[in-house]
Amino acid sequence: QHSCKILIIGGGTGGCTMAAKFTKQYKEPKQVIVVEPSDIHYYQPLFTLIGGGIKLFKSSNRPMAQVLPRNAKWIKDSVITFQPESNNIITSNGDTIQYEIMIVAMGLQLYWDKIPGLIEGLKNPDSQICSIYGPEMVTEVFNKIKKVSNGTAVFTFPNTPVKCPGAPQKIAYIAEDYWQQKKIRDKLKVVYNTSLPDIFGVKKYADSLWAVCKKRGIIVNLQTNLLKIDPDNREAIFQNLKDPDKTFVQKYALLHVTPPMGPPSILKNHTNLTNAAGFLRVDPKTLQHEQYTNIFGIGDCTNTPNSKTMAAISSQSKVVYRNVMDYLAGKEIRSVYEGYASCPLVTGYGKCILAEFDYKLQPLETFPFDQGKEYYMMYWLKKTFFPFLYWNLMLKGNWDGPEVFRKYFNVFKRKSTESVN
Ligand code: FAD
Ligand code: UQ1
């Protein structure tokens, strides 16, 4: 039996970042407890580059014990029951943990089993089915891209919320670039089948991405959802979401699948904590639970309508930290999250469009130039700088998102337009 001031559920991006922030405040052992079953902590944004043969798998992960702050107590177990009325949770080993404040950071669950044929296909090295979304199979993606010599390469986006909604098309752009460099592009059709009604949710970047696809002959089918796979015959069955009874069969030489995702099933079972879809029900501005005021949420498991990214978590972490501290001091909760999210849309080897936007799906750009274009610098940020920022600042509780830079550059922007006028 344990009790603590701050209980954090999940030791992923959100959980580890919050643990780092709170252990600076509460230094004595056991005031901050993290419940996390996994031995390994992943920097998932690198999975896209591993899939493209740009980075090695080992750069994407570290032992959990190394990234969790030393003065936080790590309980290596899963939560199975939440009892918010009595401020405690129960783990799978039967431990009860009592808390003053609970921060839920359980991420999204991948539902591979919802696509018949997918799991057996991923297990088979000869199947030409792959995915950057699972740490167990991301290393196979580049091998399978290299094996393609002709036919149709198909990339999918499911009919559910996903983490990093740009990633399913980034891997398509990188693979297409690879086949161009290998001079076999004219023997291939490259197809992106997405369940969404547009290529991207923010018009400015959608326009840029449509232009990329047009220029490079990538075929985009909107509202097209993967239903099942026949790995033996290399056939995928898709559904037209405008007319769900209509299905069609697509032969493939490569099938890259983004699996259906959703809230963790344990969270879904606790309807007092969640919305109808099973996401943690928090106020989208303050990130405080709508019913239980001593519960806060961060990251992919909440119902906030931002794009589910690590960049979003960097901005949320400051808001959760300040609001928890104010709550504990008996003050009014004032810190507000405006929905900042970002997606470095890698469009090939050495190029990337850095999308940044808010809840209203309006661009909210950091740099003082037009980010709707492809740049090498953004590619370098994604490949080299963001991983450095993550391991060295964010996981130590010292990165609150790019707001400081945005404000600084905006002063410049204003000054330069003033002088032009
Ligand atoms: P996670 O980091 O997934 O952590 C959740 C943790 O909760 C896990 O460690 C899990 O073990 C634990 N957990 C689950 N259930 C329980 C339980 N019952 N009890 C206790 N613990 C539990 N973001 C960007 O900003 N830029 C990018 O370029 C980008 N690219 C991406 C590419 C890919 C392929 C992927 C997969 C993601 C990408 N992301 C990107 C998204 C980013 O990785 C996630 O948004 C972020 O890691 C989510 O953090 P989280 O803390 O909410 O969840
Ligand atoms: C960011 O802060 C972040 O978290 C470390 C990412 O995750 C990989 C990002 O992709 C981006 C774009 C940011 C935002 C940072 C800047 C400097 C624009």
Same domain as 152, residue 237: yes
Same domain as 73, residue 43: yes
Q: Last residue of a domain, which of 328, 350, 372?
A: 328
pLDDT band of 30, cuts 50, 70, 90? confident
Q: What secondary structure does DSSP assign to 28-95, as a single string?
A: STTSEEEE---SEEE-TTHHHHHHTTSS-GGGGEEEHHHHS-TTSEEE-S-EEEEETTTTEEEETT--
Q: What is the pLDDT of residue 153?
A: 98
- Going by their DSSP bridges, the two strands 188-194 and 218-221 should be labelled as parallel
Answer yes or no: 343 catalytic: yes
Same domain as 270, residue 354: no
Is 335 a member of any domain? no
Mutation probe of ligand 1 site: the residue of 17, 300, 315 with most atoms within 8 A of C-beta:
300
**Residue 10: nearest ligand to its CA?**
1
Selecting among 130, 301, 343, 352, the annotated active-site residue is 343
Same domain as 178, residue 320: no
Q: Last residue of a domain, which of 218, 244, 261?
A: 261
Q: Last residue of a domain, which of 298, 328, 358?
A: 328
Same domain as 220, residue 137: yes
38 CB within 6 A, ligand 1:
yes
Is 336 a member of any domain? no
Q: How far is the CA of 342 from the centre of ligand 2 (A)?
A: 7
Q: Which of 294, 313, 293, 311 is nearest to 302 (CA)?
A: 313
Is 138 a member of any domain? yes
Query: Which ipTM was obtained for this model?
Result: 0.98
Cα–Cα dist 229/45, whole Å? 27
Give the CATH number for residue 181: 3.50.50.60
Is 86 a member of any domain? yes
Is 333 a member of any domain? no
User: Residue 321's Cα: distance from chain center in Å?
Assistant: 21
- The predicted-structure confidence for 301-358, as pLDDT tens digits, reads as follows 999 999 999 999 999 999 999 999 999 999 999 999 999 999 999 999 999 999 999 9
**Range of the structural domain that residue 197 is part of:** 110-261
Same domain as 75, residue 99: yes
Share of the chain above pLDDT 90, in %: 95
According to DSSP, the residues that pair with 6 across neighbouring strands are 32, 101
Q: What is the pLDDT of residue 29?
A: 79
Same domain as 196, residue 94: no
Same domain as 124, residue 92: no
From first CA to last CA, the distance across the chain in angstroms is 67
Same domain as 307, residue 164: no
Is 195 a member of any domain? yes
- The predicted-structure confidence for 177-187, as pLDDT tens digits, reads as follows 999 999 999 99
Same domain as 289, residue 221: no
**Residues 396-403, mean pLDDT to the nearest whole number:** 97
Same domain as 252, residue 114: yes
Same domain as 135, residue 95: no
395 CB within 6 A, ligand 2:
no
pLDDT band of 409, cuts 50, 70, 90? confident
Q: How far is the CA of 354 from the centre of ligand 2 (A)?
A: 9
Number of domains in the chain: 3
